[in-house]
Structure 1
Amino acid sequence: MLIRKVRRYLIGHWRGEQGLAWSFWINLVLIRVLLLLLQDWLRPGKGQDFHDMQGFVLLLALLFHGVLFVWQAVGVIRAAELYGRTTGYMAPVWGTQMVLVLAVFWVMTYAFDAWHMTRPAPDNLGRQYAVEAERAEKYSIEPTADGQSLTLSGSLELGIANHLKQQLDAYPDVKQIILASTGGNIYQARGLSNTIRQNGLNTLVVSECSSACTTVFIGGIKRQLSSGGRLGFHQYRIEADYAVLNADPLREQDRDRAIFLQAGVAAWFLDRMFNSPSSDMWYPELPELMEAHVVTDVAP
């Protein structure tokens, strides 16, 4: 008996026999809204997916966003046509047609969303760890044998400033940072410089410290250069083959100029430092570095 009533109801709507108001508001709008709310409620959580249930989910999407929607739309269209023929009033008919056009796009969006739920969720956390590991391979911060110094070498990559803080916590007897780097991220360089200055640490260069590394060096309370070490300076530049939003090399130079001035570096040195071509590197001699107060002491 129930099956017969359901079958009669479905056929009645399909033929447009249930009236425009009922067909539109109940069979189309109400049922469709309930289905879309149900889909939103069943959406997988962040980092989860229905990939293992792909066949079942796509079958439901085909049923509810395909077969069922065709039944809803056809019934409403036929009910609207019947309404227009019997009343001669076409405004509701045209309005119904416009709503159906919008409903098609709405249903297509949810159908695509259902398909997207079956795609494997990206392992964002794993990808983040992989990127961080890749960056960490480009530098090292290791203690010396006596535990009095940390040797920072390699590229100044994202995360290196936090790594230095962790190493300082692990080795509280450190008094000096030995630098060996040809530069990298200027923002990380400033973070390293601030950490060195706030902890009252000295800096030492025994090989080369150039580009952004010099900003790290200038954070030292006592700044030493060994006989085989050198410091390299140049104008700032953006090393990217694409447009970097809100990046202004001149503005960044001015910020670091203030850091160098605060450390007591002579203004004439900074003028020459930031006038050196970005494509070249200026390596001042030790007497010039001492006179400008970039280097405060010669390493023994």
Structure 2
Amino acid sequence: MSNQSVGLAPRALAMVIDGALMLAASTLLMWAVYGDPVSKWTDLRPGTLAINWLLPLIVCVVFWSWQGATPGKLVAGIKVVDARSGKHPSPLQAALRWAGYLVSAIPLFAGFLWARVDAEGRTWHDRLSRTAVERSREAPADGEGLLIGYIASHWRGEQSLAQSFWINHVLLTWPVAAGVQGLVAWLATKSEGLQGVAIALLIAWPLLIVIEVWSAVGTWRSVRGYVDAGGSYLISGLARLSLLGSFLQIAFSLALGVFSEFPELWKLARGIDPIGNVRLSVSADGRTMQFNGPIGAGDAHRLRTLLAASPAVRLLEVASPGGRVTEAERMVELIRQRGVGTRAIGNCESACTLVFLAGNKRQLMPGAQLGFHRASSGTFNPAFDEIANQELARTYRRMELPEDFIEKTLSTPSRRMWYPAAEDLVRHSLILPPPRTLDVALPEGDKPGQYAPLVDYVNALRASDAWFRLDQRFPGLIDDAAGRMRNAHMALAGSEHAVAGA
């Protein structure tokens, strides 16, 4: 074993980098598999065990036995070796070392700190696996530090092609790019903390471009050094072909990512939702709330405030092209807690359908439609689109939308809209069946002995397709008929009370 001792600082730096990479990978995988990026220690599902335990084991075993170092250790300038031969550890040693991490960590990380007092600077997991940690390169003479030195050596093309391509280009750059794209996907479908996320993206996009340029240029220079040293032209050609794809991706990201998304992100960073906000108002009698326009950031809070200030509201009339899904989900809880009905007076599309389906009684006015389609992640990455639509499917299942509706929704492109027939909505009990004749059920008051207000009679008639079409031909017919019906209803009830009293 070499007598080059390694302090705790390089080990800690390596662990932080490796931990961040594994956290990013496990978060994306958990989101893709289960729709939830966070798991608990008690979660023993096979997928969770594979992602959080088996995957890190495989990664460490492969990198320690192949390169002698994980990406974090390569950046920190250290490597794992067999304590006796000084060569890369065997897969068995690598597996024992990974298991030894747990042994070293359980007693308050005493096994890691043991390196400070060990004569050879080795930890418990080093001793258990008969491995040691050595420096893979010296710190730069000018004192710029291991991390800066690593960045500079890659940029100059001084590292091996395998390390530059697989470690720096693939394992260090791709997770960062995936993380930024995931943030964009989350931003497109969620709205919680939009302003903070937008600010983070405005910082992350330029940083991502810098990292991708650093990765691609350094690897390209490593290819040149590999060829000059007599390396395979086939391998160098494949590497350059991959790098050309990376350069195209950078251009693609700039054109369709940074430049196209910048105006929207800039508005969001200033607290302005570019899609707009829903318009909320309450009728003069206080019983009906109008809900019109796109669902934007903060609209759920505005709805909560207005509902609290309008205790008599019994009906929510909606007409919206949709918007932020998270805001709509919060509105669902508010509507269900309040127990109000919903009525679509115009097209209710995308996220608006969640609001509509939350009503305890749901009506579709003549001419109005419910529109469904796939969710869009806001990226050009099919994987993130699929994740967004898995979340959408789970949300619709919680809303008790039939499976055939969900399948049709997910098969409809995000730029198109599927409008199910009213008959299908009635068949699945998603809306109340509209009256087929001029006979309309008269509304009842909120309490026994009370009469419903005139507006309820008007709404009952408007829900009838026959009355609706008659009113279009003879304007004012519904208002006149509603007044007559209410007066007749009150007179009839009064005569019945008189007879009962006699």
The equivalent of 1:296 in structure 2 is: 432
The equivalences for 1:224-243 within 5 A come to 224-239=363-378
Q: RMSD across aligned C-alpha pairs, in angstroms?
A: 3.2
Alpha-carbon distance in 2 for matches of 1:131, 1:285: 42
The equivalent of 1:268 in structure 2 is: 404
1:156 aligns with 2:156: no
TM-score, normalisation: structure 1 = 0.51
Contact 1:156 1:185 (C-alpha < 8 Å) held by counterparts: yes
Alpha-carbon distance in 1 for matches of 2:287, 2:280: 13
Contact 2:373 2:413 (C-alpha < 8 Å) held by counterparts: yes
Contact 1:269 1:292 (C-alpha < 8 Å) held by counterparts: no
Alpha-carbon distance in 2 for matches of 1:219, 1:195: 9
The equivalences for 1:99-114 within 5 A come to none
Question: Could you tell me which amino acid in structure 1 is paired with residue 279 of structure 2?
Answer: S
Alpha-carbon distance in 1 for matches of 2:268, 2:418: 37
Question: Could you tell me which amino acid in structure 1 is paired with residue 405 of structure 2?
Answer: F
Q: What CA deviation, in whole Å up to 9, does each residue of 1:176-222 have, x standing for no partner?
A: 11111111111111111111111111111011100111011111110
TM-score, normalisation: structure 2 = 0.32
Q: CA deviation at 1:245?
A: 8.0
The equivalent of 2:345 in structure 1 is: 206
Q: What CA deviation, in whole Å up to 9, does each residue of 1:80-131 have, x standing for no partner?
A: xxxxxxxxxxxxxxxxx989x99xxxxxxxxxxxxxxxxxxxxx9xx99994
The equivalent of 2:310 in structure 1 is: 171
Which aligned runs of 4 or more in structure 1 are off by greater than 4 angstroms?
127-137, 240-247
SS class of match (1:248): helix
Question: Could you tell me which amino acid in structure 2 is paired with residue 197 of structure 1?
Answer: R
Alpha-carbon distance in 2 for matches of 1:259, 1:197: 13
The equivalent of 2:414 in structure 1 is: 278
Alpha-carbon distance in 2 for matches of 1:238, 1:136: 15
Which structure has the greater CA radius of gyration?
1
Alpha-carbon distance in 2 for matches of 1:212, 1:180: 11
The equivalent of 2:320 in structure 1 is: 181
Q: CA deviation at 1:260?
A: 2.5
The equivalences for 1:53-72 within 5 A come to none
The equivalences for 1:125-144 within 5 A come to 131-132=270-271, 138-144=277-283
Identity %, equivalent residues: 28
* Number of matched pairs: 177
SS class of match (1:155): coil
The equivalent of 2:335 in structure 1 is: 196
1:222 aligns with 2:361: yes
Alpha-carbon distance in 1 for matches of 2:394, 2:322: 17
**Unaligned stretches of 5+ residues in structure 1:** 1-96, 103-123
**Residues 241 and 159 (structure 1), Cα distance of their counterparts in 2 relative to 1, 3 Å cut:** farther
Q: What CA deviation, in whole Å up to 9, does each residue of 1:237-268 have, x standing for no partner?
A: 2235799989822321232232232xxx4333
**Unaligned stretches of 5+ residues in structure 2:** 1-140, 146-198, 200-265, 435-462, 465-502
Question: Could you tell me which amino acid in structure 2 is paired with residue 209 of structure 1?
Answer: C
Alpha-carbon distance in 1 for matches of 2:268, 2:412: 38
